[in-house]
């Protein structure tokens, strides 16, 4: 594990040097990313200017959930670029051949060869929103909360990452430049709001098929005092572990299935 962390640090350092070599391009990408994040907050604000309460949820509670969701989402976005383009770049173009020649686990290489550094702003803005809502809602930040909060962010990021590892693995069997990741990526937005505002089908989908609710909504319920969701809250680490186990199984089966492009 220590060796992998050292290699990851070098991966990140080399990519940062390459990315920051074109400072104007990086600043433009960061500015665009910030605008997209602010637009998401704008939607919440506009929604609550017309609806003071959304099925019993106050504005500050929704904003807290939204702010929290940006943190695991930001971590996911930082390292998700290769997963999003896996079918095109690695399978169709044959880049995966090079990965298999190296003495590192193939998934480790795919995850950490490229980074989206501009997504760091999502984590920072999310933390600011959580801090603001914590003051408004009177959420105490005792030692338990301070330890638990980053662990929940980590679990959320793990769920996002390994759900998309599973989706990327499908390309080992069905070669396609676009893949099935883009439409599922759009579903992440559903997990940024209370699960109770959706119908039974959407709730079941976000809970047990594509468990985005465990990445962004359920981690916030204890902080918000929503005791009716505590059963799901305690399931978060189990759901994260189950997603990781399934993803590694499917990935390894896919690697054994992989056939070179021959080009």
Number of compact structural domains in the chain = 1
Q: Phi and psi (nearest 5°) for 57?
A: -105, 130
Q: Which of 104, 99, 119 is nearest to 6 (CA)?
A: 104
Residue 262 lies in a domain: no
Residue pLDDT, tens place only, 63-101: 999 999 999 999 999 988 888 888 888 888 888 998 998
Q: Does the pLDDT at position 262 exceed 60?
A: no
Least confident range from 48-52, 192-196, 258-262: namely 48-52
Residue 229: partners with Cβ closer than 8 Å, 6 or more residues away: 218, 221
How does pLDDT run across 20-41, given as a tens digit for each residue? 777 777 777 778 878 877 777 7
The string of pLDDT tens digits covering residues 213-258 is: 999 999 999 999 999 999 999 999 999 999 999 999 999 999 998 8
Spatial CB neighbours of 147, under 8 Å, sequence gap ≥ 6: none
pLDDT of 126-185, one tens digit each?
Answer: 999 999 999 999 999 999 999 999 999 999 999 999 999 999 999 898 877 777 787 888
Judge whether 54 and 47 are in contact, CB under 8 Å. Answer: yes
Token pair, residue 41, equals 């907050």
Phi-psi region of 54 (alpha: psi -120 to 50; beta: other; left: phi over 0): beta
pTM of the model: 0.90
pLDDT value at residue 52 = 66
Please tell me which residue, 236 or 102, carries the higher pLDDT value. Answer: 236
pLDDT at 263: 52
On whether residue 61 sits in a domain, the answer given is yes
Domain that holds residue 244: 2-257
Query: Is residue 263 included in any domain, yes or no?
Result: no
Residue 53 covered by a domain: yes
The verdict on residue 187 lying in a domain is yes
Compute φ and ψ for 54, nearest 5 degrees. -110, 95
pLDDT at 45: 74
pLDDT of residue 84: 83
Say yes or no to pLDDT of 2 above 80: no
**Structural domain includes residue 32:** yes
């Amino acid at each position: 594990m220590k060796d992998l962390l050292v290699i990851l640090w070098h991966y990140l350092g080399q990519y940062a040097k390459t990315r920051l070599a074109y400072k104007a391009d990086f600043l433009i990408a960061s500015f665009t990313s910030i605008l997209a994040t602010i637009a998401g907050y704008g939607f919440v604000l506009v929604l609550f200017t017309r609806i003071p309460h959304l099925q019993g949820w106050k504005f500050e509670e929704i904003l807290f959930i939204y702010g929290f969701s940006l943190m695991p989402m930001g971590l996911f976005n930082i390292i998700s670029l290769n997963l999003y383009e896996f079918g095109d770049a690695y399978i169709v173009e044959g880049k995966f051949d090079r990965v298999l020649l190296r003495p590192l686990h193939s998934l480790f290489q795919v995850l950490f060869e490229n980074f989206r550094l501009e997504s760091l702003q999502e984590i920072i803005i999310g933390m600011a929103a959580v801090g603001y809502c914590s003051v408004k809602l009177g959420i105490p930040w005792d030692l338990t909360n301070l330890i638990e909060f980053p662990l929940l962010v980590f679990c959320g990021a793990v769920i996002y990452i390994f759900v998309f590892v599973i989706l990327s693995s499908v390309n080992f069997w069905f070669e396609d430049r676009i893949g099935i990741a883009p439409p599922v990526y759009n579903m992440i937005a559903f997990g940024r709001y209370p699960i109770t505002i959706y119908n039974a089908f959407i709730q079941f989908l976000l809970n047990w098929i594509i468990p985005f609710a465990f990445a962004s909504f359920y981690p916030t319920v204890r902080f918000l005092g929503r005791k009716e969701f505590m059963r799901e809250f305690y399931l978060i680490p189990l759901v994260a572990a189950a997603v990781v186990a399934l993803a590694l199984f499917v990935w390894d089966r896919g690697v054994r299935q992989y056939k070179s492009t021959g080009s």
